Amino acid sequence: MLEIKELDLEVDGRPVLKDLNLTIEEGESHVLLGPNGSGKTSLLLGILGFPKYQVTGGNIIFKGKDITGLSTAERVKLGMGIAFQHPPVIRGIRLGEMVNLCRGDKTQQISEQTRILAKKLHFSDEFLERDVNAGFSGGEIKRSEIMQLMAQDPDFVMLDEPDSGVDIENMELIGNMIGELLHRKIQPSKRTASGLIITHLATITDYIEVDWAHVMLDGMIACSGSPDRIISEVMKGGYEKCVRECQTTMDRK
Amino acid sequence: MRKGMPDDNGPEIEKYTLKAEKHDTKDLPEIEDKYKQAFLNVGYDPKGAERSGSFLQVDHSVLCSKVVQEGVEIMSTTDAIEKYSWLSDYWWHAVAPEKDVYTQQVDRKQTHGYFLRTLPGVRTTYPLQSCLFTEQDGLSQNVHNIVIAEEGSELHIITGCSVAEKVKSALHLGVSEFYVKKNAKITFTMIHNWAPEVEVRPRSGTIIEENGVFISNYVCLDQVKDLQMYPVTYCGKNARATSQSIIYASKDSKIDIGSKMVLQGENSRAEIISRTVAQDDADVTARGILTGSAANVKGHLECIGLMLSDTARIYSVPELEATVKDAELSHEAAVGRISEEEIAYLTARGLSEEEAAGAIVRGFLNVDIEGLPAALGEQVRQMIRMSAESLE
């Protein structure tokens, strides 16, 4: 699904990712852990091709196609989607219209499909009339981002901290919906959607099982492995200790 | 020149003719058919569906003044002043005839205009509609409008001004005087749809009596050569006034527009909201003045501009003036470009950058307009959508 090869990435002339390699197969879901400022969000936005994130070396291959030079819109058309951690307020565009847009429906009349989806995310019809992200609470932003993703229905799903600042009740709902987005509820051989999830405390893994975990440090993927092992190492001794352990094991091998 | 007052090196009246060919009311169906779309574009429905009355003036001829609801009056101001001697008390009462060369011209060479009135206690079920239309090239239309909502009445108006497609140049001078009597309410929505060589000078004044409410909306989304207006509203005790303007200035349009609200009655409230988009070589001045001169008055001014080109200009002039200690006046002014973050967000949902910019501009102009029937609100949104789509 996604193959990142020796990627160097800059933001405003400042290097943020160095020689990064990552492969995500079809049907796989990965989590990405790491301290603040290690480059996790930059990686997601680089994959998505935001103009501010300049590739200075390496390639991004998506569905067998080199997309390194493509615009965000083109990448989205190929089947990428993202839930942002801090999305901007869009004045004058109602959430319901936005969900229509995500489905490629440009009519401003909020469609029945959108209303049905909103119910699933515990949003009322009135809520769909609100300007996108204007005055939304933390939990509402998470749910709204996931609702938009579900309307988009991408093959490759990126989620930037879907589990931070969310109360238990919302977390369960969000976990369920992400599970649906990532085909976690069907047998592995039938899964076609893949995912890359940034998570600070790995809370999301209490709700969905994932296939791989990576730890990012200083713009590099410093350590990868089975989620159980990596997450327990991180929880025990922090990111850096996990990376040290990881490297010793690898050296031994 | 005092700060905030428009500097008017405006249109030369002499360039335009006052000799208009007379249109006959028997030609009305033909005219309505011919300009149906132009009328609809400024909110005037020739069928009069969901309207409590209609007024149509083409060039200097009043072709329609039809009342549907009882307790409502619609006629030419020229006829009204003949019919009602008391109207002289309102004539040039909210606007001074000697204000400038344009008001002087309207005073001397008036060519009709509408008189709209609701009798005491009457509430219009549907809005009244009016359209002032110029069909003849090179013409000067000098209208004097008077609107009166008598005590306890409610008057909703949609008015549009436009020109025929064939009109290359024209001058529109429009004096409008609004009188909101005690406990009355007027909502007034004006849609302008001009052409590249049309010059426009509306001159408006509003007097709101005790507990009165005046809501004024202005929409101008098409190119115009030169438009300047500066309506002034005087708020009496407990009065409420709101002014909203939605401007999309393109090509080499020159627009100087603002509102002045004088909070002279105790407890009165006023709000001025303007949203301006400037594209191409457009030059827009967005003004707003709130004056608080009575106890416990409150006013807020919001003046936001969006720049879409390096050759356009937005000059934003918010002004507050208080002359009593417990006046509460505030303003918020901002001019900026479309946020890259917002564009990026929308492209992540599958829109192209151009579509994203269009959607953001549309959203920016999409302020809720109070007092519009649903169908017309939808039409204004559609107009905004079309203007924004020109970016895509």
Q: What is the ipTM of this complex?
A: 0.94
Tell whether B121 lies on the interface with A, counting CB pairs under 8 A: no
- Chain A environment of B348 (Cβ under 8 Å): 48, 50, 72, 76, 81-82, 84
- Strand stretches in chain B, DSSP E: 53-58, 61-67, 72-76, 114-118, 128-134, 140-149, 154-163, 169-180, 185-193, 197-208, 213-220, 226-229, 232-235, 240-249, 254-263, 269-278, 283-292, 298-307, 313-322, 328-336
Nearest CA in chain A to B344: A50
Q: What superfamily would CATH give domain A2-85+187-252?
A: P-loop containing nucleotide triphosphate hydrolases (3.40.50.300)
Q: What pairs with residue B248 in β-bridges?
A: B277
Q: What is the pLDDT of residue A242?
A: 86
**Cβ separation of B348 and A81 shorter than 8 Å?**
yes
Q: What is the pLDDT of residue B387?
A: 76
Q: Which residue has the tokens 């799903």?
A: A157
B-facing residues of A in 29-58 (CB < 8 A) are: 48, 50-52
- Chain A environment of B363 (Cβ under 8 Å): 90-93, 131
Q: What is the CA radius of gyration of chain B?
A: 20
Nearest CA in chain B to A76: B350
The four Cα atoms B365, B367, B371, B373 give a dihedral, to 10 degrees, of 60
pLDDT in tens, B106-158: 999 999 999 999 999 999 999 999 999 999 999 999 999 999 999 999 999 99
pLDDT in tens, A5-63: 999 999 999 999 999 999 999 999 999 999 989 999 999 999 999 999 999 999 999 99
- Chain B environment of A72 (Cβ under 8 Å): 344, 347-348
Contact B306, B334 (CB under 8 A): no
Tell whether A81 lies on the interface with B, counting CB pairs under 8 A: yes
**Cβ separation of A104 and B341 shorter than 8 Å?**
no
Q: What is the pLDDT of residue A247?
A: 76
Q: Rounded to a whole number, what is the distance in Å from the CA of B284 to chain A's nearest CA?
A: 22
Q: Where are the domains of chain B?
A: 13-338, 339-392
**Cβ separation of A92 and B362 shorter than 8 Å?**
yes
Contact A153, A121 (CB under 8 A): no
Contact B94, B176 (CB under 8 A): no
Percent of chain A with pLDDT over 90: 78
A89 is written with which tokens? 């307020």
Q: How far apart are CA B291 and CA B219, in angstroms?
A: 24
Tell whether A182 lies on the interface with B, counting CB pairs under 8 A: no
Element (H, E) at B82: helix B77-83
Q: What pairs with residue A224 in β-bridges?
A: A214
Taken in order A81, A83, A85, A90, the sign of the CA dihedral is positive
- The whole-chain average pLDDT of chain A stands at 92
Nearest-by-Cβ selection for A92 from B339, B344, B366: B366
B384 vs A116, higher pLDDT:
A116
Contact B39, B362 (CB under 8 A): no
Q: What is the pLDDT of residue B371?
A: 67
Q: What is the pLDDT of residue B261?
A: 98
B289 is written with which tokens? 């003045």
- Chain B environment of A48 (Cβ under 8 Å): 348
- Chain B environment of A93 (Cβ under 8 Å): 359-360, 362-363, 366
Mean pLDDT of A77-103: 95
Taking CA atoms, A71 is separated from A62, B336, B340, in Å, by 13, 25, 14
Tell whether A82 lies on the interface with B, counting CB pairs under 8 A: yes
Q: Which residues of chain B have pLDDT under 70?
A: 1-8, 371, 391-392
Q: How far apart are CA B145 and CA B122, in angstroms?
A: 20
Q: Which of A75, A90, A94, A95 to mutate to test the interface with B (most CBs of B within 10 A)?
A: A90
A216 CB neighbour count, 10 Å cutoff: 25
Q: Rounded to a whole number, what is the distance in Å from the CA of B363 to chain A's nearest CA?
A: 4
Least Cα distance to B124 among B173, B189, B220, B170 occurs for: B189
Q: Which of B302, B341, B347, B349 to mutate to test the interface with A (most CBs of A within 10 A)?
A: B349
Least Cα distance to B140 among B170, B107, B176 occurs for: B170
CA B269 to chain centre: 20
Instruction: Note the pTM of the prediction, 2 decimals.
Output: 0.86
The helix/strand/coil state of A149 is helix
Q: What is the pLDDT of residue A250?
A: 59
Q: What is the pLDDT of residue B1?
A: 37
Nearest CA in chain A to B349: A102
Mean pLDDT of A64-85: 95
pLDDT in tens, A196-232: 999 988 889 999 999 999 999 999 999 999 999 999 8
A-facing residues of B in 320-339 (CB < 8 A) are: 339
**Cβ separation of A108 and B359 shorter than 8 Å?**
no
